[in-house]
Amino acid sequence: MSQAATQEKPLAAKVALVTGASRGIGLAVAKSLASMGAKISVCARDRQRLDVAAADLERSGACVLALPADVSHTAEIAPLVEKTERSLGPIEILVNNAGIGVFGPIQDASEANWDAVLDTNLKSVFLLSRAVAPGMISRRAGHIVNISSLAGRNAFAGGGIYCASKWGLLGLTECMAEDLRPFGIRVSAVCPGSVATDFSPHSTKDPKKMLQPEDVAHAASMSLTQAPQSFISEVLLRPTQKP
């Protein structure tokens, strides 16, 4: 491949797995990586939404594989990784984006709320990263990007469970980076503020002043194009105007 082609498609032929990719940030990340030449495996729980997202990616010329999966369930991790690698090749990029939020006073929260948020936002990252790490280690290359949140650094009323999941995710990310960097594997976190998606209601905020999914996708993509001797460990992403 020529130098010009490499610069135009810096992720050409690389395989990326993006979770929670049927809409919002995940879909924007998948589109960005595909535009950089990557072959994309997208997963989400909602098969119908995922099929629509995959069709959207295919129309843009992406090489895409859509695999419905709930990444908070251990039994669904190995098949997701195996099907991706059998169809597209070894996973070189993992973007852990799947996430949910339950908000409200901690005294009103249920154990089921806690389990759902922590399993999706934190446990799934552990399960998938653990599943792809051996292959990355054997190839001595790879990149894992965890989509976290400024809620992993800033507390707010009603955010107890969500903040706990994102604080935990940042701790996990930093430790994974230390465990895996000797093998040439880079682990990064992208921490956006409020993003204009249907993830949670923002009735008091102006969507035009909020971050857009494409802003988060740009930050994630940027971290993948670092020179081999360095990596961006964390990105804090805020809008230029307070919404």
pLDDT by residue for the chain (243 residues), tens digit each? 444 445 689 999 999 999 999 999 999 999 999 999 999 999 999 999 999 999 999 999 999 999 999 999 999 999 999 999 999 999 999 999 999 999 999 999 999 999 999 999 999 999 999 999 999 999 999 999 999 999 999 999 999 999 999 999 999 999 999 999 999 999 999 999 999 987 655 567 788 889 999 999 999 999 999 888 999 999 999 999 887
What's the rounded Cα separation, in Å, for the pair 175 and 53?
Answer: 33
CA-nearest of 224, 215, 238 to 153 is 238
In degrees, rounded to 5, the angle at the alpha carbon of residue 117 between the alpha carbons of residues 112 and 123 is: 110
Predicted confidence (pLDDT) per residue in 93-132, tens digit: 999 999 999 999 999 999 999 999 999 999 999 999 999 9
Residues involved in catalysis: 162
DSSP string, 61-103: T--EEEEE--TTSGGGHHHHHHHHHHHT-SEEEEEE-------
Domain at 3-237: CATH code: 3.40.50.720
Residue ranges of E strands in 69-201: 91-96, 142-147, 185-192
What does pLDDT average to over the chain? Answer: 94
Distance from the first to the final alpha carbon of the chain: 44
- Max Cα distance, the chain (Å): 60
pLDDT score for 125: 98
Element at 55 (helix H, strand E): helix 47-59
Residue 111 token pair:
């154990």
Residue found by looking up tokens 């070189």 in the block: 92
- Cα 45 from Cα 60, distance rounded (Å): 23
What are the φ and ψ backbone dihedral angles of 226, each rounded to 5 degrees? -65, 150
